[in-house]
Amino acid sequence: MFDPSGAARRYARRLALTMIVYAALTVAVPILIRATDARGPFLWILALLPALPLSAVFWLIGRYLVELTDEYRRLLEVRKALVATGFAMAAASAWGFLEVYAQAPHVPLFTVPILWFAGLGLGSLVNLVLERSEDAA
């Protein structure tokens, strides 16, 4: 769908830059931790670095929603985010109970936002199905 405001293009550019920083940090941080034998507060600061660009993505999504001028497109993006949230929270809750009661292996918490991003894809499918069913009606 055409985006006359350019919000999608700006969002894609911002997201690409943020993901490049995220990827670089996920590679660099373990190397830096080993190379510096980091401990204490310095270790915590290094360990938190990859969370910064990952967290920034949520701000970018919010900014994208604000910049969208087409209300229908905004509705679709909000629906995607709601589906993603439900998916990630349900998966995290279910796995948490599996860990506690069924001795499932521990999964790091940073998996939850990754599930959320996967949920955006699921939300896109939901939008597609709902749009097709509306067109058929």
At 15-65, the pLDDT tens digits run: 999 999 999 999 999 999 999 999 999 999 999 999 999 999 999 999 999
pTM for the predicted model, two decimal places: 0.86
At 88-129, the pLDDT tens digits run: 999 999 999 999 999 999 999 999 999 999 999 999 999 999
Q: What is the pLDDT at residue 4?
A: 64
DSSP the chain: ---TT-HHHHHHHHHHHHHHHHHHHHHHHHHHHHHHT--HHHHHHHHHTTHHHHHHHHHHHHHHHHH---HHHHHHHHHHHHHHHHHHHHHHHHHHHHHHHH-PPP--TTHHHHHHHHHHHHHHHHHHHHHHHHHH-
Query: What is the pLDDT of the chain when averaged over all its residues?
Result: 95
